[in-house]
């Protein structure tokens, strides 16, 4: 069957899968570090890149390769590289693109460690401007002669603001720079940045792609030439994922479409509930029709996902509310079956200096909710009883 033309769910299950050698119905876990060469001449051909072959799992592993082929298919890329964490994927992608004396434009709202990575780049002679990429004109104005890369998340962690992938890609390409998009929150089920002209997509596969909160993982998707460079970087930096973790993510990805539909449906109901509650000031969910970026959401996303940001009216209510929850789990991470809730200012974004994070909208009153796939009445019931304890 031509999987390129098959529907998303069929591709999520079958793309890349390689079972023909043994008849195994699921992809086996090749839990090995090295691979045996047939003979010295074979070793010379494989080591010299004249023949494809497995050498050592830091570079290529058959189980991980299936994961790479599956995500490349789903994101409409030519190739992909799997890494041990989302941060390993982001750093391998960035290190494969930029060098000393380059300039990078990054959105000011990024997952805390991604932000911190870009701050640290100055130690390597790379100049980074943090701006609000929500407004494409800001990106245009931030360009310098040596700008090589524009990096953003859409929706952004944790404020849920969106960036117009197509508009920013057009601006960057006119100026000889590339656009990297972190697609963790949407997954390829709801958003395919490469189809909106982005050059590279990165993921924390720890989140929705794996979906069960039991492994870390990261992915880079792009054209074959870029992935070749990234694989070279990864071999030197050493970010290879373990075959077992690749297998867990592969297993998770097979149910991605049905999980995402449920996350989306539950989050919409929860966002509508939160909007009506008097203890709450603002609810930011791209699927709410009065969200200022609703039109952009509809243009570049086919669903709105499971992530919601909201602010309580009173800062003092934050800890009372969080401590009163019984079903929603107080934990970082996101995108798993269970509903997770956290306080960005003291948790995921504690590394961002206070003044900056407040300027970016990561205030002390902001709460981030990763709506799970439990019965939505139970999620809402738990939020309601905890909100009732505040004030
Ligand atoms: N990109 C985004 C958008 C993320 O949310 C995260 C992690 C990463 C990249 C890094 O991925 P990792 O290395 O953890 O696989 N976000 C987390 C969060 O919001 N809470 O804990 C981790």
Q: What is the CA radius of gyration of the chain?
A: 21
The SS3 call for residue 380 is: helix
Asked if 56 is an active-site residue, the reply is: no
Residues 6+ positions from 176 with CB-CB distance below 8 Å: none
- Give me ligand 1 centre to Cα 111, in Å: 6
- Is 111 one of the annotated active-site residues of the chain? yes
In whole angstroms, what is the distance from residue 258 CA to residue 243 CA? Answer: 25
Same domain, 84 and 14: yes
What digits encode the pLDDT tens for the residues 223-272? 999 999 999 999 999 999 999 999 999 999 999 999 999 999 999 999 99
The predicted pLDDT at position 391 comes to 84
Report d(CA 87, CA 239) in Å as an integer.
9
Task: Report the atom number in ligand 1 closest to the C-alpha of 114.
Answer: 9
pLDDT value at 1 more than 80: no
Q: Ligand 1: which of 155, 184, 362 to mutate, judged by most atoms within 8 Å of the beta carbon?
A: 184
pLDDT digits (tens, 9 = 90+) for 93-133: 999 999 999 999 999 999 999 999 999 999 999 999 999 99
Whole-angstrom distance, CA of residue 389 vs CA of residue 66: 49
Is residue 360 among the annotated active site residues? no
- For residue range 283-319, what is the model confidence (pLDDT) as tens digits? 999 999 999 999 999 999 999 999 999 999 999 999 9
Please check whether residues 132 and 248 belong to one and the same domain: yes
In a domain, 180, yes or no: yes
Of 45, 54, 58, 170, catalytic: 58
How many independent structural domains does the chain possess? Answer: 2
Q: Name the token pair of 139.
A: 């990106």
* pLDDT (tens digit per residue) in 239-248: 999 999 999 9
3 pLDDT band, cuts 50/70/90, is confident
Ligand 1 centroid–CA 204 distance in Å is 6
Give me the CATH number covering residue 287: 3.90.1150.10
Residues 143 and 246 reside in one and the same domain:
yes
pLDDT confidence tier of residue 21, bands split at 50, 70 and 90: confident
Buried b (16+ CB within 10 A) or exposed e, 58-74: bebbbbbbbbbbbbbbb
- The tokens of 385 are what? 């009883």
336 and 187, same domain (yes or no): no
* Global pTM value: 0.98
CATH code for the domain of 100: 3.40.640.10
Same domain, 342 and 220: no
Q: Atom 1 (ligand 1): residue with closest C-alpha? A: 204
* Secondary structure class of 101 (helix, strand, coil): coil
Residues 248 and 166 in one domain: yes
Ligand 1 centre distance from Cα of residue 37 (Å): 38
What value does the mean pLDDT of the chain take? 97
Residue 352 — very low, low, confident or very high, per pLDDT cuts 50/70/90?
very high
Closest CA to 254 of 48, 43, 16: 16
Domain around 316: 256-388
């Amino acid at each position: 069957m031509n999987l390129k033309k098959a529907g998303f769910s069929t591709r999520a299950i079958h793309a890349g899968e390689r079972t023909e050698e043994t008849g195994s119905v699921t992809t086996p876990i090749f839990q090995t570090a090295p691979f045996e060469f047939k003979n010295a001449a074979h070793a010379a051909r494989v080591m010299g890149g004249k023949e494809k072959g497995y050498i050592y799992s830091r570079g290529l592993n058959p189980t991980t390769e299936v994961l790479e082929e599956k995500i490349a298919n789903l994101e409409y890329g030519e190739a992909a590289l799997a890494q041990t964490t989302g941060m390993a994927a982001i750093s391998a992608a960035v290190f494969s693109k930029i060098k000393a004396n380059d300039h990078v434009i990054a959105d000011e709202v990024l997952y805390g460690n991604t932000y911190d990575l870009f701050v640290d780049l100055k130690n390597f002679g790379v100049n980074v401007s943090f701006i609000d990429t929500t407004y494409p004109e800001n990106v245009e104005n931030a360009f310098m002669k040596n700008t090589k890369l524009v990096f953003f998340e859409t929706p952004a962690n944790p404020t849920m603001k969106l960036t117009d992938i197509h508009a920013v890609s057009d601006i960057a390409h006119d100026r000889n720079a590339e656009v990297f998009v972190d697609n963790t929150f949407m997954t390829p089920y709801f958003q395919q940045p490469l189809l909106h002209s982005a050059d590279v997509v990165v993921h924390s596969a720890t989140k929705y792609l794996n979906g069960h909160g039991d492994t870390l993982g990261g992915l880079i998707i792009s054209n074959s030439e870029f992935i070749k460079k990234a694989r070279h970087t990864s071999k030197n930096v050493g970010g290879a994922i373990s075959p077992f973790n690749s297998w867990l993510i592969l297993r998770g990805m097979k149910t991605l479409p049905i999980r995402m539909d449920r996350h989306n449906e539950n989050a919409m109901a929860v966002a509508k509930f939160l909007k009506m509650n008097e203890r709450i000031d603002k609810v930011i969910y791209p699927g709410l029709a009065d969200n200022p970026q609703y039109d952009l959401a509809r243009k570049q996303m086919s669903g709105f996902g499971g992530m919601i940001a909201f602010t309580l009216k009173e800062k003092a209510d934050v800890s009372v509310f969080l401590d009163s929850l019984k079903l929603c789990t107080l934990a970082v991470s996101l995108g798993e079956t269970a509903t997770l809730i956290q306080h960005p200012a003291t948790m995921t974004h504690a590394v961002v200096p206070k003044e900056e994070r407040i300027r970016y909208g990561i205030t002390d009153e902001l709460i981030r909710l990763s709506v799970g796939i439990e019965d939505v009445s139970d999620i809402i019931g738990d939020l309601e009883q905890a909100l009732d304890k505040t004030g």
